[in-house]
Structure 1
Amino acid sequence: MAFLSLLGRLLFVSVFALSAWQEYNQFGADGGSTAKALTPKYNVFSKHFATHTGFQIPAFEIKFLVAGAIALKAIGSLLFVFGSTTGALLLILHQVIATPILYDFYNYDIEEKEFLRLFIKFTQSLALLGALLFFVGMKNSTPRRSSTKKAAKTKTN
């Protein structure tokens, strides 16, 4: 059972680890192709966020956002493979931040082809988030083994 659990965590984390590795290899002085693709999506998201909440997201370089995403995915993946709740929480943080920015289906009309593509990816990302939340919930609800041993019974004659 422990082997199957490890195998499941390895397969699950492969999505995050391979993505982090690819982004790391493409990361240059400007953040690479990921930063170039993310910049317009981030700008639309920040305007959309400011319009609906009234709060302005501070301006910063997108390459730092990409570097943070790489770090969250890499460290979270490594810790998650070993069954760490902290690793799952790092991956949850990544999903919560990245999902609404990357998969902005809400900016498209339902009849557009892009809407369906982004909505499918958004729901897949939500499924990953749900699996991570399930892991954290199961990890926290599992009773811990007691390290105290029962006292030996004494013989009575």
Structure 2
Amino acid sequence: MGFFSFLGRLLFASLFILSAWQMYNDFGDNGGPAAKELAPKIASIQRYLVSKIGDGVPKIDVKHVVLASMALKGLGGILFIFGSTTGAYLLMYYLILMTPLLHDFYNFETDDPKFHAYLPDFVQSVALFGAILFFIGMKNVLPRKVIKKKPLKTKTT
């Protein structure tokens, strides 16, 4: 059981680790393809925050968002392999922050081809989030170590 649990965590985390490694290799001076994809979405969030809060909103740098997502995926995946709930929480934070940003199917009509491109990726991210919740739930339910009670010895006088 222990080997299969480790293998499952390894295969699950490999999705995040390999993605972070690919982002690292493509990063370059401008943040790579991930920054190009995120730039218009971050700009729209920046405009929204300025319209609601005012000009005091700090500028969000796209390269910092890409670096943060690489760190969350890489470190979270490595920790998750060894059964750490901290790694699971890091992966969960990545999914919470980046899924609505990357897979914004809700901004398109149902007859738009982008809707059908983003929706399966969004659903996959929700399923991954559910798997992480299941892992955290199982870690909290199962006892760490079963303590065997020693039988009481009768006293002789």
* TM superposition score category, shorter chain reference: 0.7 to 0.9
Q: Alpha-carbon deviation of 1:116? A: 1.2
Identity score, percent = 48
Residue 16 of structure 1 corresponds to: 16
Change (3 A) 1:48 1:82: same
Find the aligned partners of 2:48 and 2:121 in 1 and give their Cα distance: 20
Scaled by the length of structure 1, the TM-score of the pair is 0.87
Residue 28 of structure 2 corresponds to: 28
Q: Structure 1: which amino acid aligns with 2:112?
A: E
Q: Alpha-carbon deviation of 1:95? A: 0.3
Scaled by the length of structure 2, the TM-score of the pair is 0.87
Check conservation: 1:109, 1:115, Cα contact below 8 A: yes
Runs of at least 4 residues off by over 3 Å: 44-51, 54-58, 146-149, 154-157
Residue 3 of structure 1 corresponds to: 3
Check conservation: 2:46, 2:60, Cα contact below 8 A: no
Deviation per residue, 1:85-118 (Å, 9 max, x gap)? 0000000000000000000111111111110110
Number of residue pairs matched by the alignment:
155
In structure 2, the gaps of 5 or more residues are: none
Deviation per residue, 1:49-92 (Å, 9 max, x gap)? 778xx457742210011001001111101100000000000000
Aligned CA-pair RMSD = 2.3
Check conservation: 1:41, 1:104, Cα contact below 8 A: no
Find the aligned partners of 1:55 and 1:101 in 2 and give their Cα distance: 20
Q: Alpha-carbon deviation of 1:20? A: 0.2
Q: Alpha-carbon deviation of 1:151? A: 6.2
Higher mean C-alpha deviation, range 24-33 or range 96-105: 24-33
Change (3 A) 1:48 1:103: farther
Change (3 A) 1:131 1:96: same
The answer to whether structure 1 residue 71 and structure 2 residue 75 are counterparts is no
Residue 113 of structure 1 corresponds to: 113
- Three-state SS of the structure 1 residue aligned to 2:37 is helix
Residue 129 of structure 1 corresponds to: 129
The answer to whether structure 1 residue 98 and structure 2 residue 98 are counterparts is yes
Residue 61 of structure 2 corresponds to: 61
